[in-house]
C-alpha cells in the first residue's frame, strides 16, 4: 500500500509539462527503472486521448511488464493512469499541472500501488518507492533539456 504525493514547482508552462508527461513513448530515455514502453492502442474523443500502454520496468535481474490505461485531458491539464494487468494488485497514478502565479507550473504527482506478490513487493518495493519519488524530478530535468532553462522561480 505504498502511496506517494508531491508538488514540484517548475519554470516551464503547464502545457509544456503536460506534453512532456503525455509523451509516454519517450519514458525509456529518461525515467528511472523504465526499460521499455509501447502504446498498444490510442483513441481520441472530446479533446481527450485514451492510451493503452505496456511498460517494462527493470532492476538488476528482475523485469516486470504491466499494462495501463492512460487518459490524457489537455483542457484540464490532467493525466490519469489506471492499472489494467501485471504484477500489481492495483496502481492509481495522477498528474496535474497547475499554473503558478508569476509563471511556471506546480506539477502534482500522486501514486498509490500494491504488488500482488509479497515477495516481489519485498524485492522491488524499495526500488519502486525510490523511482516514484524521483519521477517528478526526472520530468523536470527532461523539461530543462527539451525546453531549456529559464531563471529560477520563487518558492511556492
The answer as to whether 152 is a domain residue is no
For the chain, the domain total comes to 1
The answer as to whether 154 is a domain residue is no
Question: CATH number of the domain that 124 lies in?
Answer: 3.30.530.20
The answer as to whether 156 is a domain residue is no
Judge contact between 55 and 36, C-beta under 8 A: yes
The answer as to whether 59 is a domain residue is yes
Q: Which residues contact 27 (CB under 8 A, 6 or more apart)?
A: 34, 37, 55
The answer as to whether 114 is a domain residue is yes
Greatest Cα-to-Cα distance within the chain, rounded to the nearest angstrom: 47
Q: What pTM, to 2 d.p., does this model score? A: 0.86
* Per-10-residue mean pLDDT, the chain, length 156: 86 96 95 93 96 90 90 97 93 96 94 85 71 80 87 49
**Cell of residue 38, nine digits:** 509501447
C-alpha span between 145 and 139 (Å, rounded)? 10
C-alpha span between 57 and 59 (Å, rounded)? 7
The answer as to whether 138 is a domain residue is yes
- Which pLDDT does position 156 carry in this prediction? 47
- Which pLDDT does position 130 carry in this prediction? 74
The answer as to whether 155 is a domain residue is no
DSSP secondary structure of the chain? --EEEEEEEESS-HHHHHHHHH-GGGGGGTSTTEEEEEEEEEEEETTEEEEEEEEEEEETTEEEEEEEEEEEETTTTEEEEEEEESSEEEEEEEEEEEEPTTSSEEEEEEEEEEES-HHHHHHHHHHHHHHHHHHHHHHHHHHHHHH---SPPPP-
- Which pLDDT does position 14 carry in this prediction? 97
Phi/psi for 122 (5° steps) reads -70, -40
The answer as to whether 84 is a domain residue is yes
Residue 12: domain span: 3-147
Judge contact between 73 and 60, C-beta under 8 A: no
Amino acid at each position: 500500500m505504498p502511496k506517494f504525493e508531491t508538488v514540484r514547482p517548475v519554470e516551464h508552462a503547464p502545457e509544456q509539462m503536460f506534453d512532456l508527461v503525455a509523451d509516454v513513448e519517450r519514458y525509456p530515455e529518461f525515467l528511472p527503472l523504465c526499460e521499455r514502453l509501447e502504446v498498444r492502442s490510442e483513441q481520441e474523443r472530446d479533446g481527450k486521448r485514451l492510451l493503452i500502454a505496456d511498460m517494462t520496468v527493470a532492476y538488476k535481474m528482475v523485469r516486470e511488464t504491466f499494462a495501463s490505461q492512460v487518459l490524457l485531458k489537455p483542457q484540464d491539464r490532467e493525466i490519469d493512469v489506471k492499472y489494467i494487468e501485471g504484477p500489481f494488485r492495483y496502481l492509481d497514478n495522477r498528474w496535474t499541472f497547475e499554473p503558478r502565479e508569476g509563471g511556471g507550473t506546480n506539477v502534482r504527482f500522486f501514486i498509490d500501488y500494491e504488488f500482488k506478490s509479497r515477495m516481489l513487493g519485498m524485492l522491488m518495493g524499495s526500488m519502486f518507492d525510490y523511482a516514484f519519488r524521483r519521477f517528478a524530478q526526472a520530468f523536470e530535468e527532461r523539461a530543462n533539456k527539451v525546453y531549456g532553462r529559464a531563471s529560477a522561480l520563487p518558492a511556492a
